[in-house]
Chain A
Amino acid sequence: DAKTTQPTSMDCAEGRAANLPCNHSTISGNEYVYWYRQIHSQGPQYIIHGLKNNETNEMASLIITEDRKSSTLILPHATLRDTAVYYCIVRVAGANSKLTFGKGITLSVRP
């Protein structure tokens, strides 16, 4: 069962904000929203995660709706190096908690 739904692909212009949506309508109260990305041939890279409040770090911002059924990852100033597959994952905290990568969304940043 897919816990998250993401568009297959999107693109944006270099320097502009990239807004990547994710639906997780069946999320449980103790599940976090995680975002990872994978640049071709590299290991998955952790970006950000949150429970219900919006979060920001040096890479991105995570906006979670009040009902927690969807979220948006925002890359404020996309660069060509941000071209990658982005994965939205929901999971409970805990080292034994499964991390399940779906198909993700392919973001292409164009010059």
Chain B
Amino acid sequence: DAGITQSPRHKVTETGTPVTLRCHQTENHRYMYWYRQDPGHGLRLIHYSYGVKDTDKGEVSDGYSVSRSKTEDFLLTLESATSSQTSVYFCAISIGSTDTQYFGPGTRLTVL
């Protein structure tokens, strides 16, 4: 257990509405990540952060924004949710000399 929580754990929303997912860590790890997991695609990196206010894009960042105003919180925002963003979202942190990534429990998002 790497002390990662995600909220909400499940959410159903409608197309066009804004959605924010939260990832919280209980320790001061510098790197945090957001992934999405879809059948046939495995896990794909959306955005990551390497410190407060320091973020960068991953391979599937279109339609998503992130913010990190505190070390312990990394927020993922869908400004205007679309059905293609229906997915399971995982947050991760990296720890140790080889930056091993540890994952949170996930958020299942359904966009109708």
Q: A residues bordering B, Cβ < 8 Å?
A: 32, 34, 41-46, 49, 93-103
B residues whose Cβ falls under 8 Å from a Cβ of A = 30-31, 42-43, 45, 50, 90, 94, 97-106
Q: Determine the residue in chain A with the shortest Cβ distance to B91.
A: A43
Neighbouring B residues of A32 by C-beta, 8 Å:
98
Q: Are B42 and A99 in contact (CB under 8 A)?
A: no
Chain A's closest residue to B50 (CB) is: A95
Q: Could you tell me if B98 and A99 are in contact, using CB atoms closer than 8 angstroms? A: no
Number of A-B contacts (CB under 8 A): 41
Q: Min CB distance, B22 to chain A, in Å?
A: 15
**Those 6 A-B pairs whose CB atoms lie nearest each other, nearest first:** A43-B103, A93-B98, A95-B31, A95-B99, A101-B42, A95-B94
- Inter-subunit contact A95/B30 (CB<8 Å): yes
Chain B residues in 8 Å Cβ range of A96: 50
With A46-B100, A101-B43 already in contact, 9 other A-B pairs whose C-beta atoms are closer than 8 Å: A41-B106, A42-B106, A43-B103, A44-B103, A46-B101, A93-B98, A94-B99, A96-B50, A98-B45
A34 to B30, CA, bound (A): 21
- 17 A-B contacts (beta carbon < 8 Å): A32-B98, A34-B100, A42-B105, A43-B105, A44-B43, A44-B90, A44-B103, A46-B101, A49-B98, A49-B100, A93-B98, A94-B98, A97-B99, A99-B43, A100-B42, A101-B42, A103-B42
